[in-house]
Structure 1
Amino acid sequence: MLDLTKIAGQMQGLSQHLSSEVAESNRRLELAKEHLKTAFECQQELISRQEKWRDRILFANATPIEPLETCIDIPTPPKVHTVIATDGSQIAPNHHEIAYCYLLNIGRVVLHYGQNRHPILDSLPEVFYRPEDLYIARQWGLRTEEWMSHRRTADETTVLAELACSAKTEAPALAMVDGSLIYWFLDQLPMDARDRILPPILEAWQQLRKAEIPIMGYLSAARNIEATNFLRLLACPHPVPDCISYCPDQLEALPCKKFDNLRDTTLWTTQLQPGQRGPLWRSNNRILQLYEDQTIYFCYVHVGTEIARIEFPMWVAENSSMLDQALGLMLAQVQKGYGYPVAIAEAHNQAVVRGGDRNHFFALLEREMIKAGIKNVGISYKEARKRGSIA
């Protein structure tokens, strides 16, 4: 039980700390705006330096594909269209439960607008209980819970492609997922483990590409700093941006980190009006070398309530009419969802496993185990005591 009276005395110190953080953030923001104005005039020179020294630069940075001052009004989408989204949830394995297994639940949503067609709002659950599912991650030194999360990511994308292709009509369509299309965690996985996650995702994207259905990842409250880090090339005091030679320890107070940790969304809040997008960027994350011809581009969009980061594969970015239409459909989803895409929100609601669902799942499992003749079915004494209190 949380003792709020003991916490109340710590609130004043927390509020003072946050106030100083806001002041420092405002200082970094003003400095970043000055560098951004300067970068307008020498953008191509900065890109040339970036490309030439990319193997020697030690901080994450993206490449602008359009002029940095780009502010484009997103077009109004057609009234007749379809939006598809998936999201996932799970029940993690627990040695204290009646059986050691886990469940993945993929929420599916298809919303048809102006077509007089019924929507799809459901979920696809799958139970994993075989040893090859439960213990495969051990050979790579991964926890089962961690592997379960990675597998869920792949399943979400696979289901999304199948759902979108089966729902395709003559009307424009958009496939959406919650979060980034840049799977940073892959960089930490052994090659064998990575080969079980990434290829199905890329294959699903290829299916969407053939069906001419764009896919977009929607990031709310994004913490990325790739675009802002591009301005560090301008702030570098050395003859060339050779971090390995001049600044090998990136944790130190470096001269180019004048606006360190300033989020991209914070900077672009000062540049965009509601309904506008900023310039296109190409991410240079190392893991994208494995994406073949589907490397990830992104842009920042003022959706009215916040600056959202929108990610999409290269084949979407290179098709300007597809990109414009997809951004229009995305913005309409945010407006319909009062600040967040309604299709993604509904996919989450379909996927989420609540406490009652979890109890029903284990009750069903217990009944089947007893029916199969298994004796001494029950949770551990530790779990039983945690669920009740004698106080």
Structure 2
Amino acid sequence: MLDLTKLARQMQGMSQHMTREAEAARDRLERAQTLFEEAQTHQEELVRRQARWVHRIPFNAATPVEPLDRRPAIQTPPEAHTVFASDGSQIAPSAHEIAYCYLLNVSRVILHYGQSRHPVLDSVPEIFYRPEDLYISRQWGIRTEEWMGYRRTVSEAVALAEIGQDLLVIANNALPAPTLALVDGSLIYWFLEQLPGEARDRIIEPILGAWELLRLAGIPLLGYVSASRSAETLSFLRFQACPYEEPNCLHHCPDLGTVDRKGRIKQAPCQVCEPLRDGVLWSSRLEPGHRSPLWQSRSRILDLYGSHSIYFCYVNVGLEIARIECPAWVAEDSRLFESALGMTLAQVYKGYGYPVALAEAHNQAVVRGGDRSRFFALLEQEMIRAGLQNVGTSYKEARKRGSIA
């Protein structure tokens, strides 16, 4: 049981710490704004420096592909358009349950506007119990629980591609209205960096295959990142803050990231804005309904993406600064990109601060506590019907579910 009285004493010190941090954040923001103004006049030179020294810098900085002072308003979408999304949830495997298995529940949400068509709100569950599903990842040192999460990401992408294909078939290969595929979260799958090559291929290849089907269908794909913690655009300003003629970090700042005798992490002269985040910077520069310039992410994991490299921008959606990501084929088609942004912003307004299609996709996919209990009760009935003996949870699990206190 949580002792709130003891906890309240600790919160007093925490609030004082956060007040000091807020003051420091204001100072960092002022420095970032100054650097941004200076970078606007040297943008081409900074991009050239980045391209030349990209292999000698240890930080991840995005590249602007539009003028830094570009902050256009997002266009209003047409009355008739379609937005679809998919999300996933799971029941993790447990050795204390009646059977060692896991379940993925992937939602399918299609919302039509101005077309007198009914929405689609459903989900597709799938249970994994075969040895090749449960133990294949262990050859790469990956726990089954982790592999389940990766499989869920694949299932969500495949579901989007299937929805797009179904819409094309219904429309006889000619979509009647602009259509958008939305993803909750980033399209840059950072977890791929830590995976062995063979395991990584099993995840990224079906995802890119699904994206390719959307590209062929002419359906833009956007990833909506709420409360982004990224600092890729601020990292670009480090080239402006660098005091050296050449931004050769490995030569000028060889001890970057090491810890001194007082336990402080050594920083480079260009890290004057850290730990400020992109969202804070763009909140001071964007009016509601406007977007930042387009940026190309330079994350090293994107080397695996081929023609689907990721671009992004920041959008003031009214209540927050959202990061919007898209594959290269969307960013390179300005008409498609601007249309997709318009439909996304309309989704945010309809959802009172968050895209309604993504909220509904989550609600359709989420597996609640009652669902979990009913799943294992149904599984128990099926096992008993099949003639299996001694079906039940472990003594530990049964004891935890009933307390004597």
TM-score normalised by L of structure 2: 0.96
Question: Identity of paired residues, percent?
Answer: 63
What is the correspondence of 1:94-133 to structure 2 with a 5 Å cutoff? 94-133=94-133
Task: Tell me what 1:20 maps to.
Answer: 20
2:341 paired with 1:327? yes
Displacement of 1:165: 2.3
Task: Tell me what 2:5 maps to.
Answer: 5
Unaligned runs of 5+ in 1: none
2:320 paired with 1:299? no
Q: What residue identity is the alignment partner of 1:290?
A: L
What is the correspondence of 1:224-303 to structure 2 with a 5 Å cutoff? 224-251=230-257, 252-303=266-317
Q: What residue identity is the alignment partner of 1:197?
A: I
Task: Tell me what 2:176 maps to.
Answer: 170
Displacement of 1:249: 3.7
Displacement of 1:11: 1.2
1:218 to 224, 232, 235: 224
Point out 4+ residue stretches in structure 1 off by more than 6 angstroms.
none
- 1:211-255, CA deviations, whole angstroms, 9 ceiling, x for partnerless residues? 100000000000000000000011111221111222234322211
d(CA) in 2 for partners of 1:389 and 1:99?
Answer: 24
d(CA) in 2 for partners of 1:250 and 1:356?
Answer: 50
Moved more, 66-75 or 235-244: 235-244
- 1:254-295, CA deviations, whole angstroms, 9 ceiling, x for partnerless residues? 111000121111000111000000100000000111111110
Q: What residue identity is the alignment partner of 1:27?
A: D
TM-score normalised by L of structure 1: 0.99
Q: What residue identity is the alignment partner of 1:276?
A: H
State how many pairs are aligned.
391
d(CA) in 2 for partners of 1:383 and 1:238?
Answer: 61
* CA gap 1:29/1:135 in 2 versus in 1, 3 angstroms: same
d(CA) in 2 for partners of 1:270 and 1:307?
Answer: 10
Task: Tell me what 2:172 maps to.
Answer: none
d(CA) in 2 for partners of 1:164 and 1:24?
Answer: 47
- 1:88-146, CA deviations, whole angstroms, 9 ceiling, x for partnerless residues? 00000000000000001101100011111111101011000001111111111111111
Task: Tell me what 1:89 maps to.
Answer: 89
d(CA) in 1 for partners of 2:25 and 2:158?
Answer: 40
Aligned alpha-carbon RMSD (Å): 0.8
Task: Tell me what 1:179 maps to.
Answer: 185
2:59 paired with 1:59? yes
Moved more, 361-370 or 164-173: 164-173
Q: What residue identity is the alignment partner of 1:246?
A: H
- 1:321-357, CA deviations, whole angstroms, 9 ceiling, x for partnerless residues? 1011100000000000000000000000000000000
Displacement of 1:4: 1.2
d(CA) in 2 for partners of 1:315 and 1:123?
Answer: 29
Displacement of 1:301: 0.3
Moved more, 109-118 or 243-252: 243-252
- 1:177-216, CA deviations, whole angstroms, 9 ceiling, x for partnerless residues? 1000001111110000011000111111110001100000
Task: Tell me what 1:344 maps to.
Answer: 358
Displacement of 1:77: 0.3
d(CA) in 2 for partners of 1:363 and 1:248?
Answer: 59
Moved more, 3-12 or 86-95: 3-12
